[in-house]
Amino acid sequence: MARLISFDIDGTLWAGDPPGRITLEMVLRARELGYIIGSASDRPVPVQKGIWEKHGVVMDFTINKHRLDEVKAQFEAETYQHIGDTNMDEMYAVMHGFEYLDVAIHMEEPWMFLDGDEVS
Ligand SMILES: [Mg+2]
């Protein structure tokens, strides 16, 4: 069964304000690995969609992070993860049955590594 990953934007993705350490390449790698992927941010959904369209990434969902429960209801997956940078990300992830990954410290996901990446 598939694996589902929800990305926070600001402080988490390269395209965020402030930028975070998750690169476009990492998101595309998750896509290649067959994961169900999307963004869950405080930003309005049309703004989220605009970011993905601008970079040519097809996302399975774009939603406000306090509604992650709707993502869980919509997609059947083996694991549900939300990666973000604040305690609000952690709160909503845990509240809605997602595993929370802290972007500042988490480095062990297969999609986070690309050929040639430094692994510290
Ligand atoms: Mg954030």
Question: Cα(20) to centroid of ligand 1, in Å?
Answer: 8
Q: What is the predicted pLDDT for the residue at 87?
A: 97
- Whether residue 71 has pLDDT greater than 70: yes
**Side chain identity at 22, as an amino acid letter?**
I
Average pLDDT in the chain: 93
Question: Cα(89) to centroid of ligand 1, in Å?
Answer: 7
User: What does each C-alpha distance from 111 to 22, 45, 58, 60, 73 come to in angstroms?
Assistant: 10, 24, 16, 17, 24
Q: What is the predicted pLDDT for the residue at 120?
A: 44
Token reading at 42: 């405080």
Q: What is the predicted pLDDT for the residue at 115?
A: 54
Stronger pLDDT, 76 or 1, i.e. the higher one: 76
Q: What is the mean pLDDT of residues 87-109?
A: 94
Q: What is the mean pLDDT of residues 52-58?
A: 96
Question: Cα(83) to centroid of ligand 1, in Å?
Answer: 9
Asked if residues 115 and 41 have their Cβ atoms less than 8 Å apart, the reply is no
What share of the chain has pLDDT > 90, as a percent? 86
Question: Cα(25) to centroid of ligand 1, in Å?
Answer: 19
Q: What is the predicted pLDDT for the residue at 108?
A: 82
Question: Cα(86) to centroid of ligand 1, in Å?
Answer: 6
- Euclidean distance between CA atoms 85 and 24, whole angstroms: 17
Q: What is the mean pLDDT of residues 83-101?
A: 97
The structural domains of the chain, ordered by start, are: 3-112 (3.40.50.1000)
Question: Cα(12) to centroid of ligand 1, in Å?
Answer: 6
Q: What is the predicted pLDDT for the residue at 114?
A: 55
Stronger pLDDT, 72 or 108, i.e. the higher one: 72
Which residues neighbour ligand 1 (ion) by CB within 5 Å? 8, 10-11, 85
